């Protein structure tokens, strides 16, 4: 292999060699073949996706000695000169280093003169958005009425910074970031041509790190070849990139799923021993949570995953969709805070601990315990010593009465609420709803319904009229299937729309929440410290801000 960088050696020389960007190439090929040429073209997109490469091929196609064609010969003096960067009628300018208006005026001084050797005089201005406002003004007049022999080719990563007057005079082509499969395929082709050993897993890691940039991928491939002494091996690439072994992230998520804080901290400690990049680890965790959410909702992977699919499917069953969404939001917010942590490990630990101890507010009935949620210390003590509640109930005086009242309010479900769902079969619809695998609108519909009656193989629900338009045939079928699974027999669902006279699960949840909040407000008002502050400073109690800290 030559000592020339792969990104330069494998730069496309023809449109057919360009990876991806078919939507751009199709338009340019048709324009060249049909001689429908414009005087100004703007290529936009992130770094390393082929903006200047396509512009150079286009310049070569315009000046090929065989004629204007989408397939320049690549052998004539014009084609060879463009490839070697010495074609006199191709003026390449880096706008980042020539931003002044005097530079632009100097560049355009010779625009009126005919090409020296080619068919067209081509101005290729890279990072054109870096030009100053005065430079754009100097360019604008020429751009409005250019000579017939002049073509402008602009490339930029930030087209929003270009004046609309310039944009309106250009044909704009937006190059997309390349997919990981496209990048990995090109890297495989390069290595096979160079007769180098490689692992497909290593190429997948490089393609992922390139973030859609083919140039970055080829540069990383050069680095990997140097690191691996001419071989591209997955373990070497992972170490070179400072990437986290998938097993560590899987251990973190397993610990979250089981609610095991000790296992969670042990997983982080092992990551620290291997000197992993915790910022990269958080990115991997975010991506894995995204995949979990897609598997739970769509039943398939949105993109190819390097994580074991069977393991992902198993974890998707252990963690509820609500918790996955909460974990994802905590991780995204934690990514913003991570640089402010004194140590990256400390910040990462706090983020995953936050996932473990935070819980989403319950909005419907009394859900069964969710996998992946640890019990609070109070719950653990109550489970270990069930007689403690009875001892607390034996207290006398106003304090014991208030404690009993508060306990009665917070008990879910209360005896009164448990007897609210009066049905012919004695069913408790509040409890049934919490056990059904429903989400989104369908769950809201079920929460705003009451069970009229149930008999062999048939259930009748009374649903509030406001949901009539959204309860379509598909959702009705899904609800019927959920009920069939719950009862273990084929269920035929009958839905009647009307105003329920009984309390729906949604109304019950709102009532319990209101009662709990009022009990808490009363408790705060009775607090001697609060009373003293109100008397001393004339303070007013903001009831809406009062909430109980469950941790």
Residues 6+ apart with CB under 8 A from 162: 42, 128, 129, 136, 156
Closest CA to 152 of 85, 59, 218: 59
**Res 225: pLDDT:** 92
Domain boundaries along the sequence of the chain: 21-174, 180-241, 246-357, 424-502, 508-545
- CA distance linking residue 95 with residue 104, whole number of Å: 9
- Show the tokens assigned to 121: 């005089």
Cis peptide before 212 (omega within 30 of 0): no
Which pTM does this prediction carry? Answer: 0.58
**Res 58: pLDDT:** 95
3-state secondary structure 463-529: ECHHHCCCCCHHHHHHHHHHHHHHHCCCCEEEEEECCCCCCCHHHHHHHHHHHHHHHHHHHHHCCHH
**Res 516: pLDDT:** 85
- Show the tokens assigned to 382: 């109550």
Question: For residue 175, how many other CB atoms are within 10 A of its CB?
Answer: 21
- CA distance linking residue 141 with residue 159, whole number of Å: 20
CATH class of 424-502: alpha beta
Question: From residue 480, how far is each of 289, 458, 463, 497, 530 by CA, in Å?
Answer: 30, 10, 14, 16, 52
**Has domain 180-241 been given CATH number 1.10.8.60?**
yes
- CA distance linking residue 284 with residue 212, whole number of Å: 17
458-463 sheet: strands from edge to edge: 449-455, 458-463, 492-497
Task: State whether the Cα torsion 138-141-147-151 is positive or negative.
Answer: positive
Question: For residue 26, how many other CB atoms are within 10 A of its CB?
Answer: 11
Question: For residue 443, how many other CB atoms are within 10 A of its CB?
Answer: 20
Directed axis angle between helix 473-487 and helix 440-447, to 10°? Answer: 70
Residues 6+ apart with CB under 8 A from 446: 433, 436, 438, 479, 505
Closest CA to 160 of 174, 150, 146: 174
- CA distance linking residue 433 with residue 447, whole number of Å: 7
Residues 6+ apart with CB under 8 A from 442: 475, 478, 479
Question: Which residues of the chain register pLDDT less than 70?
Answer: 1-2, 244, 300-307, 359-427, 549-551
**Res 347: pLDDT:** 93
3-class SS of residue 33: helix
Buried b (16+ CB within 10 A) or exposed e, 453-472: ebeeeebbbbbbeebeeebe
- Show the tokens assigned to 362: 């319950």
Helix spans in 259-396 (H)? 261-273, 278-298, 309-318, 321-337, 344-357, 377-384, 388-393
- CA distance linking residue 407 with residue 135, whole number of Å: 74
Q: Locate tokens 């073209």: which residue?
A: 41
Contact predicate 128/155, CB 8 Å: yes
**Res 330: pLDDT:** 94
Nearest-5° Cα angle at 61, 59 to 66: 135
Closest CA to 62 of 91, 82, 85, 86: 82
- Show the tokens assigned to 242: 């400072």
- CA distance linking residue 516 with residue 413, whole number of Å: 12
DSSP classification of residue 97: T
**Helix or strand run (H / E) with residue 117:** none
Question: What radius of gyration do the chain's Cα atoms show?
Answer: 34
- CA distance linking residue 551 with residue 549, whole number of Å: 6
User: In terms of C-beta density within 10 A (0-12 exposed, 13-18 middle, 19 or more buried), how is residue 363 classed?
Assistant: middle
**Helix or strand run (H / E) with residue 153:** strand 150-156
Question: For residue 269, how many other CB atoms are within 10 A of its CB?
Answer: 11
User: In terms of C-beta density within 10 A (0-12 exposed, 13-18 middle, 19 or more buried), how is residue 542 classed?
Assistant: exposed
DSSP classification of residue 396: -
| CATH number for the domain whose boundaries are 21-174 | 3.40.50.300
**Res 549: pLDDT:** 65
Q: Locate tokens 């939507």: which residue?
A: 23
3-class SS of residue 154: strand
Q: Please, what's the largest Cα pairwise distance for the chain?
A: 106
3-class SS of residue 82: helix
**Res 368: pLDDT:** 41
Contact predicate 316/296, CB 8 Å: yes
**Has domain 246-357 been given CATH number 1.20.272.10?**
yes
């Amino acid at each position: 292999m030559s000592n020339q960088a792969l990104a330069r050696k494998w730069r496309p020389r023809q449109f057919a060699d360009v990876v991806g960007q078919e939507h751009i190439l199709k338009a340019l090929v048709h324009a060249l073949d049909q001689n429908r040429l414009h005087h100004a073209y703007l290529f936009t997109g992130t770094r390393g996706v082929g903006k200047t490469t396509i512009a150079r091929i286009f310049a070569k196609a315009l000046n090929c000695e065989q004629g204007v064609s989408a397939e320049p010969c690549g052998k004539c003096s014009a084609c060879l000169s463009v490839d070697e960067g010495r074609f006199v009628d191709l003026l390449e300018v880096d706008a980042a280093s020539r931003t002044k208006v005097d530079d632009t005026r100097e560049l355009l001084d010779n625009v009126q003169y005919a090409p020296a050797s080619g068919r067209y005089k081509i101005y290729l201005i890279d990072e054109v958005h870096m030009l100053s406002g005065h430079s754009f003004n100097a360019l604008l007049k020429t751009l409005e009425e250019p000579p017939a022999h002049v073509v402008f080719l602009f490339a930029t990563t930030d087209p929003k910074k270009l004046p609309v007057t310039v944009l309106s005079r250009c044909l704009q082509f937006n190059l997309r970031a390349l997919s990981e499969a496209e990048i990995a395929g090109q890297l495989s082709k390069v290595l096979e041509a160079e007769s180098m050993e490689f692992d497909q897993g290593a190429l997948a890691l490089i393609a992922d790190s390139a973030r859609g940039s083919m140039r970055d991928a080829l540069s990383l491939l050069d680095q990997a070849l140097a690191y691996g002494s001419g071989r591209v091996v997955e373990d070497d690439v992972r170490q070179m990139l400072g990437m986290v072994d998938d097993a560590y992230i899987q251990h973190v998520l397993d610990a979250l799923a089981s609610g095991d804080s000790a296992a969670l901290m042990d997983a982080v400690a092992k990551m620290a021993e291997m000197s992993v990049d915790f910022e990269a680890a958080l990115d991997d965790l975010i991506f894995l949570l995204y995949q979990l959410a897609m598997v739970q909702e769509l039943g398939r992977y949105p993109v190819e995953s390097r994580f074991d699919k069977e393991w992902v499917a198993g974890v998707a069953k252990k963690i509820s969709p609500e918790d996955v969404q909460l974990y994802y939001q905590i991780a995204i917010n934690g990514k913003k805070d991570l640089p402010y942590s004194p140590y990256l490990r400390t910040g990462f630990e706090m983020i995953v601990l936050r996932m473990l101890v935070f819980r989403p507010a319950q909005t419907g009935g009394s859900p069964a315990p969710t996998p992946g949620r640890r019990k609070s210390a109070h719950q653990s003590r109550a489970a270990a010593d069930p007689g403690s509640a009875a001892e607390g109930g034996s207290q006398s005086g106003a304090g014991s009465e208030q404690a009993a009242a508060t306990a009665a309010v917070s008990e879910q479900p209360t005896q009164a609420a448990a007897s609210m769902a009066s049905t012919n079969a004695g069913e408790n619809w509040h409890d049934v709803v919490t056990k059904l695998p429903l989400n989104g609108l369908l769950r809201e519909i079920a929460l705003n319904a009451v069970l009229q009656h149930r008999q062999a193989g048939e259930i009748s629900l009374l649903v509030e009229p406001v949901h009539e338009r959204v309860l379509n045939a598909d959702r009705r079928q899904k609800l019927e299937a959920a009920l069939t699974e719950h009862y273990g027999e084929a269920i035929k669902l009958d839905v009647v729309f009307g105003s329920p006279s009984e309390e729906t699960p949604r109304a019950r949840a709102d009532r319990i929440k209101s009662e709990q909040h009022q009990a808490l407000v009363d408790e705060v008002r009775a607090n001697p410290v609060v009373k003293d502050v109100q008397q001393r400073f004339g303070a007013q109690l903001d009831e809406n801000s009062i909430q109980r800290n469950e941790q």
